Amino acid sequence: MVELLETHVHLVLGAETGAARYRTGAYAFWRLHVTHLAREAGRPDPEVLADQLLAPLAPELFRHQRDAGLTPARITAALAALARGALGGRG
| pLDDT above 70 (res 15) | no
| pLDDT above 90 (res 11) | no
70 within 8 A of 1, measured Cβ to Cβ:
no
More confident residue, 38 or 10: 38
pTM, full prediction: 0.75
* pLDDT tens digit sequence for 31-66: 999 999 999 999 999 999 999 999 888 888 988 999
Span 11-25, average pLDDT: 66
Put residue 71 in one of left, alpha, beta given phi > 0 → left and psi -120 to 50 → alpha. Answer: beta
